[in-house]
Amino acid sequence: MNTRLTLAAALALTTALPALAEVNVYSYRQPELIQPLVDAFTAATGIEVNIAFLNQGLTERLLAEGTRTPADIILTADVQHLAEAVDAGVTQAVASDVLTANVPEGFRDPGNQWFGLTSRARIVYAAKDRVQPGEVTTYEDLADPKWKGRICTRSGTHAYNTALTAAMIAHHGPDYTKTWLEGLKANLAMKPQGNDRAQVKSIWAGECDISLGNTYYMGEMLEDDEQRPWAEAVRIDFPVFEGGGTHVNISGVAMTAHAKHPEDALKFMEFLTSPEAQGIYAAANHEYPVSDAAAPSELVASWGSFTPDNIDLMTLAGERGDALKLAQEVDFDG
């Protein structure tokens, strides 16, 4: 009798317990880059965060899983993947005064589908001994024949470069941009190959004088014994668009359409966008916080400041398809 009562009481107690507090994340960012934030969030709230890292196919996976998806949140390294997720209907709008206060208007979706966390600039790495300060001015100027045989870059169809091309379309239209791409291609020192760091290595080796790259690669190279000499051979110059600013992209976060733990997911999103968390995340990635209330790391600040371009990020995402077509039309990588 007593055993039956004990078992019944235990069953009733188990049934009454709240569901496990957790947040499941699909991430294009390496888990170790956000682990310090995960640890701090769990310590403060008791909410567990589980991260599944994906190299590609995040939106396709969410579509395939549908309502069965375990993912509550997605983390991406660029606005294009955020836009793809929104267009596919796998995210949901989030109403939060905390999020809108933490993330400036230019770095969040107008419909509150996604929120930026950190930003990086698409800049020029310039040889310290062969390129004078002030010689690099605008992105448009990179098509000038004075740079013939002096520029290195990765594939023109890579997401980082198509984003820059999309911004050129937004500023000047497709006809101008096609001519600009042809001029840029004519100035290349070699066929596009490798990643952004490989271009800096080519500058170090004397194969070219300037290259396009993302700011955070400077931090990554300085942390690598083999690549540190490459980084030390160049400086970061911040070109601008004529009538605009420096091209930027963002990392960001969004809640999935079928989140099983929406309240806990919102708490994690609000935590990630807090100035303190933005600062920690940006320092780990060698990027800039999107909020002026969060300071960049000492290293990132040493590269200089810039004015972000004034083209809306979702506008850029919408031009990516045309940008890719133009790169293919001019056979940029050929």
- Angle at which helix 262-273 crosses helix 275-285, to 10 degrees, equals 70
Asked whether 207 and 149 are in contact (CB, 8 A), the reply is: no
Q: How many Cα atoms occupy the beta-carbon half-sphere of 68 within 13 Å?
A: 4
Architecture label for domain 18-119+248-302 = 3-Layer(aba) Sandwich (3.40)
Output the six-digit token pair for 149: 């045989």
Q: Could you please report the per-residue DSSP string of 216-233?
A: HHHHHHHTSTTTHHHHHT
Q: CA-CA distance, 39 to 46, in Å (whole number)?
A: 10
* 273: exposed, middle or buried (Cβ count in 10 Å: 0-12, 13-18, 19+): buried
The whole-angstrom separation of Cα 159 and Cα 214 is: 12
Residue 44, Cβ neighbours under 10 Å: how many?
10
- For 314, other C-beta atoms within 10 Å of its C-beta total 16
Which helix (H) or strand (E) covers residue 313, if one does?
A: helix 313-329
Question: Domain spanning 120-247+308-329: which superfamily?
Answer: Periplasmic binding protein-like II (3.40.190.10)
Query: What are the residue ranges spanned by the domains of the chain?
Result: 18-119+248-302, 120-247+308-329
Nearest to 289 by CA among 99, 117, 151: 117
Residue 257 CB contacts under 8 Å (≥ 6 apart), including other chains = 62, 89, 90, 91, 92
User: What pTM, to 2 d.p., does this model score?
Assistant: 0.87
Using CA atoms, how far apart are residues 327 and 33, in angstroms rounded to an integer?
A: 32
How much is the pLDDT for 52? 94
Question: What's residue 32's pLDDT?
Answer: 82
CA distances from 132 to 24, 201, 204 (A): 49, 19, 16
| Crossing angle for the helix pair 79-88 and 159-172, to the nearest 10 degrees | 80
Residue stretches of the chain with pLDDT short of 70: 1-20
Tell me, rounded to whole angstroms, the distance of Cα 333 from its chain centroid.
24
Q: To which H or E segment does residue 40 belong?
A: helix 31-45
| Nearest CA-CA partner of 63 in 298, 289, 258 | 258
Q: Is 80 left (phi over 0), alpha (psi -120 to 50) or beta?
A: alpha
Q: What are residue 302's DSSP bridge partners?
A: none
pLDDT score at 20 = 64
Q: What is the DSSP string of 232-271?
A: HTEEEE--B-TTS-B-EEEEEEEEETT-S-HHHHHHHHHH
The single-letter DSSP state of residue 308 is B
